[in-house]
Amino acid sequence: MANNPGAKKAIRKIAKRTEVNKARRSRVRTYLRKFEEALTGGDSAKAKEAFVVAQSELMRAVSKGVVHPNTGSRKVSRLHRQLKKLAVA
């Protein structure tokens, strides 16, 4: 258990940061789910809109440090590949 004031403050900061990061991660997952739903719907225009929003949310999470930069890039790349596959079909 934390005994000195600095350690107690660090615990408070970590708890706050964890809550914020949870909300950000949840937000990213929501937009990823919306993109998946647009893909399964088969509407390429709706899927493109959802892709743009999902991509920006992912990159925002990367800039905030919630997601590792390589992870964000990999996910965007995979989303884009799925979008292109839908456009071709």
Domain harbouring 75, CATH code = 1.20.58.110
pLDDT digits (tens, 9 = 90+) for 19-66: 999 999 999 999 999 999 999 988 889 999 999 999 999 999 999 999
Q: What is the pLDDT of residue 88?
A: 83
Residues in the chain: 89
- Rounded Cα–Cα distance for residues 28 and 41 (Å): 20
Q: What is the pLDDT of residue 42?
A: 85
1 has a pLDDT exceeding 80: no
Q: What domain range is 22 assigned to?
A: 5-88
pTM: 0.84
What spatial distance separates the first Cα and last Cα of the chain, rounded to whole Å?
58
pLDDT digits (tens, 9 = 90+) for 55-68: 999 999 999 999 99
The number of distinct structural domains making up the chain is 1
